């Protein structure tokens, strides 16, 4: 299996060039990290929204709940 992937890489390099293959590899790696970072930022945003809602309910106190 390793031989097939190595041959594939050599064919790709010979067809489009080494710098292009490296650039494509780095782009795919960067995409994976960006997806991970995006989900982490969304999670943080949701956590901040929940925290703000909790803080607002604490600030209002029991008086505003009776209205």
3-class SS of residue 1: coil
3-class SS of residue 17: coil
Alpha helices (runs of H) in 1-67, residue ranges in sequence order: 2-16, 18-66
Residue 4 banded pLDDT, cuts 50, 70, 90:
low
- Does the reported pTM lie above 0.85? no
More confident of the two residues 1 and 32 = 32
- As a residue count, the chain comes to 67
CA triple 45-32-49, angle to 5 deg = 5
Could you report the per-residue pLDDT of 21-66, keeping only the tens digit for each? 888 889 999 999 999 999 999 999 999 999 998 888 878 776 655 4
Q: Is the pLDDT of residue 19 over 80?
A: yes
């Amino acid at each position: 299996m390793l031989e097939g992937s190595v041959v594939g890489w050599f064919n790709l390099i010979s067809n489009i060039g080494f710098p292009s293959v490296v650039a494509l590899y780095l782009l795919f790696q960067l995409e994976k990290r960006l997806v991970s970072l995006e989900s982490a930022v969304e999670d943080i945003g949701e956590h901040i929204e929940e925290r703000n809602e909790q803080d607002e309910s604490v600030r209002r106190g029991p008086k505003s709940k009776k209205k």
